[in-house]
Amino acid sequence: MKSARMLLPIILLSLSAATFAQVSAQKPQSEAEKSFDRLKLLAGSWQGPVTVVPPQPEMSTDKPIHISLRVTSRGNALVHEMQEAGTPEDSTKYDHPVTMLYLDGDRLILTHYCDAGNRPRMAAKPSADGKTIEFDFVDVSGGTQYGHMDHAVFTFIDENHHIEDWTYMMPGDNPVHAHLDLQRAR
């Protein structure tokens, strides 16, 4: 009888833990979590042409752009690295911006570590069809005398093709739009 009384609390604890695990597993994903999972499917190397409007003399569009996406921190962050294809990874001479994408509560956040020396943050808003994730400007750390990244859109075509549209706000609030049509590198 005494052993049965001691066994009852253990059984109750086991049942409550199993119930909690089952409820946690059934929690529906938020829109931010769905978007982040979708972006993580882009992990890998990408390459393609870039179109800049209006054209910028310091930005070459005759060479393809190379994008590397890597899931890191046990799946809690996505690293997006951009550079002109064929250039050395020498950040003192060549542009090599890094962008981090991560969940912050119920928001999907993009922080762009810009070659202009600042760090704009943007928050995602997914499309109803799930094929586009648009990031709107939230705030920026660091100086903006050279401008700052202001907007980004990721459009999913298929598992080997996606489009990225980035808007850079030049001094005087003059936008420059870069359109990247990317194919998975093999």
Chain segment 84-128, per-residue pLDDT in tens = 877 767 666 667 899 999 999 999 999 999 999 999 999 999 888
pTM of the model: 0.82
- pLDDT at 125 (0 to 100): 94
Structure tokens given for 122: 């943007």
pLDDT at 61 over 70: no
- pLDDT at 91 (0 to 100): 65
Mean pLDDT of the chain: 87
- pLDDT at 72 (0 to 100): 98
Instruction: Report helix, strand or coil for 79.
Output: strand
Architecture of the structural domain at 30-184: Beta Barrel (2.40)
Q: Please state the domain extents for the chain.
A: 30-184
Bridge partners, 81 (sequence order)? 68, 98
In the chain, the amino acid numbered 61 is: T
63 DSSP 8-state letter: S
In the chain, the amino acid numbered 90 is: D
Place 25 in a pLDDT band, splitting at 50, 70 and 90: low
Lowest mean per-residue pLDDT among 6-15, 59-68, 95-104, 169-178: 6-15
Place 20 in a pLDDT band, splitting at 50, 70 and 90: very low
Give the C-alpha separation, 93 to 114, whole Å.
Answer: 14
